[in-house]
Amino acid sequence: MRTMTLHTAEAIADALPSPMPAGLRHADDTRPGITRKKTRGAFAYFDLDGTRITDEAQIARIHALAIPPAWCDVWICPDARGHIQATGRDARGRKQYRYHAQWRETRDADKFGRMAAFGRALPKIRASVARDLAREAMPREKVIAVVVHLLDTTLIRVGSVEYARENQSYGLTTLRKKHVKFRSNEVRFRFAGKSGIEHDVTVDNPRVKRIVRACAELPGHDLFQYIDEDGTRRTVESADINDYLRNACHADFTAKDYRTWAGSVFAMTALRHLVCESAADARRHVVATVKDVAALLRNTPAVCRRCYIHPEVIAAFEAGELRELSPPHARRHMKVDEAAFAALLAQCEKRERLANRRVSKNGGNARVAATTDVERARLAMLLKKSSALQNQVDKQANKRTNKQANVRKTA
């Protein structure tokens, strides 16, 4: 059985809408499900009518979910095809989820499929930010614009009030005044982010410094605040950021799209001019690049590979296609490296259009739906290949480590 994936409520809030993949069914943990109870030091599982489950295949499926022993209020989907396979509460009382692997792959494919549209919208968003940063005084639009600018340039997460309250981990919209220092033309942010990862980020921009300092001079603990039209002091929230992005480009993008875009651009830039003598050489370059992206985004290599690097980047690198891309030109509000990534995505869209022509003419909607399925299937395939490649490299690394350990024992 394939590995399932774990997500928190914060991840669900950021998730993008996706159609149900073929073969899966919608699962609802408010309906009756399989429960677990600890008996004599081990877990026992009980079906919907309270009967203890003894079927070995069913127990093997549940064990494959690797539900942490510390979880309480565990609900397990009685259907192996459910898109949610299990839920529970961790030691902090936070609701946690185990998803079906096929569902996770579909969600990742949809997210990466948004990148071409996000790249086209990015210059519009940046132009809007530039205009709002130049506004007089400190209106709401100006304060939100500086947060969007920092999101774009520092890749700090947008933040969650829940995580700040329960874990003392912060993001841009939950930063406190104690997290910021000013010096010369710089503003320095120091705080613990998601998973307790320490952030120490310095921004050298006089205008940004002036705006952030003005925010810090308002009463209260929160850093990014503004005074609305009726004189009420309000804190910038993640919903304000998403609304700003929507108004700037008339499309639905979120703060998380910035990290996916930046991770993909960074990976492509690092891989684009490398020459590989063998497949093993290419794998080593990919693994090293993934680690660099993880450092940039302050995340783990596994998460970055799965969630923040477009699979077309790695596929094009392995096929030797990155070096064949025409040299891009910088555009207003878009860097050269970003333009190169946009060119790669344009190639993907061209391939999608060609696939569209091969689809039988059963009506416009059917044709578009079929094309979407083709592209989603390709992305899902690339994600599987990416995961398999990472597992292969990890196994090779473990073999080398074990071999070195045996040599030391022999010595």
Give the torsion sign (CA, 99, 105, 110, 113): positive
Give the strand pairing for 180-183 and 5-8.
unpaired
Residue 393 has pLDDT above 60, yes or no: no
Please give the Cα distance from 263 to 276 (Å, whole number). 22
pLDDT at 18: 54
- Listed in sequence order, the DSSP H helices in 136-186 are 140-154, 161-167
Averaged pLDDT score across all residues of the chain = 84
**Per-residue confidence at 349, pLDDT binned at 50, 70, 90?**
confident
Q: Would you mind telling me the total number of residues written for the chain in this entry?
A: 411
pLDDT at 337: 93
Residue 360 has pLDDT above 60, yes or no: no
DSSP strands (E only) in 283-334:
none
Tens digit of each residue's pLDDT (9 = 90 or more) over 74-112 = 999 999 999 999 999 887 676 888 988 887 776 666 678
Tens digit of each residue's pLDDT (9 = 90 or more) over 125-165 = 999 999 999 999 999 999 999 999 999 999 999 998 888 98
**0.75 cut: is pTM over it?**
no
Torsion of CA 377, 381, 384, 388, to 10 degrees: 170
Please give the Cα distance from 287 to 264 (Å, whole number). 14
The residue extents of the domains of the chain are: 5-105, 122-252, 256-388
pLDDT at 138: 96
**Per-residue confidence at 5, pLDDT binned at 50, 70, 90?**
very low
Residue 123's Cβ-count burial label (10 Å; 0-12, 13-18, 19+) is: middle
| H or E element, residue 58 | helix 56-64
CATH of domain 256-388: 1.10.132.120
- Asked whether this chain's domains 122-252 and 256-388 adopt the same fold, the reply is no
C-beta pairs of 61-69 under 8 Å, 24+ apart in sequence: 61/1, 62/34, 62/36, 64/1, 64/3, 64/4, 65/4, 65/98, 66/4, 66/98, 67/36, 67/98, 69/43
**Domain 5-105, architecture per CATH:** 2-Layer Sandwich (3.30)
Residue 320, phi-psi category: left (phi > 0), alpha (psi -120 to 50), beta (remainder): left
Cβ 33 vs Cβ 78: under 8 Å:
yes
Average pLDDT over residues 317-326: 86
Partners of residue 366 on adjacent β-strands: none
b/e code 41-50 from CB counts within 10 Å (16+ = b) = eeeebebeee
Q: Of 140, 223, 217, whose CA–CA distance to 188 is shortest?
A: 223
| H or E element, residue 73 | strand 72-76
DSSP string, 92-140: TS-EEEEE-HHHHHHHHHHHHHTHHHHHHHHHHHHHHHHHHHT-SS--H
Protein fold of 122-252: Topoisomerase I; Chain A, domain 3 (3.90.15)
What 3-state class would DSSP assign to 248?
helix
pLDDT at 12: 36
**Per-residue confidence at 370, pLDDT binned at 50, 70, 90?**
very low
Tens digit of each residue's pLDDT (9 = 90 or more) over 21-59 = 778 898 999 999 999 999 888 999 999 999 999 999 999
Partners of residue 235 on adjacent β-strands: 225
Residue 16 has pLDDT above 50, yes or no: no
Tens digit of each residue's pLDDT (9 = 90 or more) over 289-312 = 999 999 999 999 998 998 899 999
Residue 407 has pLDDT above 80, yes or no: no
At CA 370, angle to CA 82 and CA 364, rounded to 5?
130
Percent of the chain with pLDDT over 90: 56
Give the strand pairing for 84-89 and 95-99.
antiparallel
- Rounded to a whole number, what is the distance in angstroms from the first to the last CA of the chain? 41
Tens digit of each residue's pLDDT (9 = 90 or more) over 192-204 = 999 889 999 999 9
pLDDT at 372: 53
Residue 90, phi-psi category: left (phi > 0), alpha (psi -120 to 50), beta (remainder): beta
Higher pLDDT, 380 or 171: 171
Higher pLDDT, 251 or 140: 140
Torsion of CA 264, 267, 273, 274, to 10 degrees: -140
pLDDT at 388: 56
Please give the Cα distance from 320 to 133 (Å, whole number). 42
pLDDT at 275: 85
Residue 333, phi-psi category: left (phi > 0), alpha (psi -120 to 50), beta (remainder): left
**Per-residue confidence at 376, pLDDT binned at 50, 70, 90?**
low
Cβ 26 vs Cβ 83: under 8 Å:
yes
CA distances from 110 to 21, 116, 187, 251, 379 (A): 11, 12, 36, 15, 8
